[in-house]
Amino acid sequence: MTAMETSPAKAFREDAAPAVANQWWRGAVIYQVYPRSFSDSNGDGVGDLKGVLAGLDYISSLGVDAVWLSPFFTSPMHDFGYDVADYCNVDPVFGDLEDFDEIIKKAHRLGLKIIIDQVYSHTSDQHAWFEESRQNKTNPKADWFVWADAKADGSPPTNWQSVFGGGAWEWDSRRRQYYLHNFLASQPDLNVHIVDVQDALLEVAKFWLDRGVDGFRLDALNFAMHDPLLRDNPPAPSDGRPKTRPFDYQLHKFNQSHPDIPKFLERIRDLTNQYQGVFTVAEVGGPEPMAEMKAFTANGTRLDSAYNFSFLYAEKLTNDLTKRAVRAWGRATDEGWPSWAFSNHDAPRAISRWASEDNSQRAAKLYAMLLLSLRGNAFLYQGEELGLPQANVPFEALQDPEAIVNWPATLGRDGARTPMPWIAAQPNAGFTSGTPWLPVDARHLQLAADVQQAEPTSTLNFVRTLIALRKQNDVLRNGDLRFIEDAAGLLAFKRDLDGAEALCVFNLGDDSQHWQPPRPEQFTTIIDAGVSDDNSALPATLPPLSGYIAFSR
């Protein structure tokens, strides 16, 4: 018997309403599954695709529109799947292609779309393309990766630095050249300037589209092309933020963000247009991502959406941060559609960054309400609906290369990747019958899905209610958003669509705030977090970490 066969997932419904066809993704709620940590079906301590298959009932019960699956492809797992050794196969630790096909079938039966990662900026050094490329300078794939000669003194071609620490060039004795790796040395960068490389990547996308996937998240997209002139990056000016790695000391002008990337995206769009209702979203990192995000989503000829790390890496959630992030997306006809994420596999969990442990569940409800009120798509990371805090992972149990290199300067990513707690009373919270690849945090047991399923006022059931509210009210999915500037101390905005209005008000701070709109009788409170039990009238006072959504009468 597997962990998931005894989990609450089996009790959840299979009757989700089918999504709207072509632009189902506009305003969608998308649930991110990190397969290694979702559910282990065979007791080896690592989550797998059969675990995901069983868990689809639970995901469907949340009311979300789609599932984003983090990488499950063949990989040596040096970066846990983001180092791909075979783009068109499943790593044995997760299962096989038949397991994936079963996920597609069941998800579609439940009315869920499936989105998968595509990693086009780099591969694993164990990928057949790189193994051929490194043999010599004349083979058919010799230029499929970024190779360059050493400088006269033997040093690397440029001063570019790796995200994971140290220089971004690795010497290869067979080619007697350096190759570029913006991440681990075992993750050589593809030369996506080359048309043959683009063609091969498009064949990968077609392989998965033909298997029935409904969309792609393009990982580390702005690293997909480099400066062919190999110019040095300039130093980064001091902005007051601490620099924890050499990468932070440079402006990444030449090792990423090349202006030809959008041309490749137009080729991707030409492919996805041959299928119905395919959604594409870019991950765009960096301190000034908006220009790239808009370029990547412009004119309806590239990607549908993009998101950045404005919330994911923020140490504090503030009114100003939210306003800046949202206002960056206007209503221009040539502009793409925004997506938002507060937590994911790459960032410490939001409630541990933004709230004290004493206020964690109160904060979890408030943050979910804000996320699901914003104009755009909402990415909900597994366990976020449970209000999970960042797990404590001791140094000796760390697996993530970034966490190990930067210990203890950063929280690292492992604390956001620990196993999903399904059943509080079972070993390893019902995730596995074996030894989990990362330890289960004892604090997560009281927040397990079975505990919260039985508690009407739990964070889990509150999030379900929020998602249902968003689905039932198109003004929350697709309405315009206008901030209210006179709500002193509060984050307040209206969503408007075809005469319907939703008033969304949040107190993100530590002090009570007093405010009502000019004619409060025009609104009725539908749902609130931490305000009161009386929804008959708009509250005049919002306690710390509280908020509400009200609709026009």
Tokens encoding 403: 């966490």
Cβ neighbours around 42 below 10 Å, total: 16
* Among 214, 283, 346, 402, the one annotated catalytic: 283
Cβ neighbours around 358 below 10 Å, total: 8
- Cβ 218 vs Cβ 264: under 8 Å: no
* Backbone torsions φ then ψ of 313, nearest 5 degrees: -105, 5
For residue 66, the cross-strand partners are 30, 113
Distance (Å, whole) CA 335 – CA 333:
6
- Cβ 32 vs Cβ 4: under 8 Å: no
* Among 219, 346, 441, 528, the one annotated catalytic: 219
Region of 516 please: left (phi>0), alpha (psi -120 to 50) or beta: beta
Distance (Å, whole) CA 297 – CA 293:
6
The closest alpha carbon to 447, from 545, 553, 351, 322, belongs to 351
The closest alpha carbon to 110, from 236, 196, 222, 15, belongs to 15
Examine the residue annotation and report whether 474 is marked as an active-site residue of this protein.
no
Examine the residue annotation and report whether 485 is marked as an active-site residue of this protein.
no
384-407 core/surface letters (b: 16 or more CB in 10 A; e: else):
bbbbbbbbebeeeebbbbbbebbe
Distant-in-sequence contacts of 260-264, Cβ < 8 A, 24+ apart = 260/193, 260/225, 261/192, 261/221, 261/222, 261/224, 261/225, 261/292, 261/295, 261/296, 262/295, 262/296, 262/298, 262/302, 264/192, 264/198, 264/224, 264/225
- Strands lying side by side in the sheet with 546-552: 480-483, 491-497, 500-507, 546-552, 523-529
**What's the CA dihedral at 59, 62, 67, 73 to 10 degrees?**
-30
- Cβ 396 vs Cβ 407: under 8 Å: no
Q: Where in the sequence numbering do the catalytic residues fall?
A: 219, 283
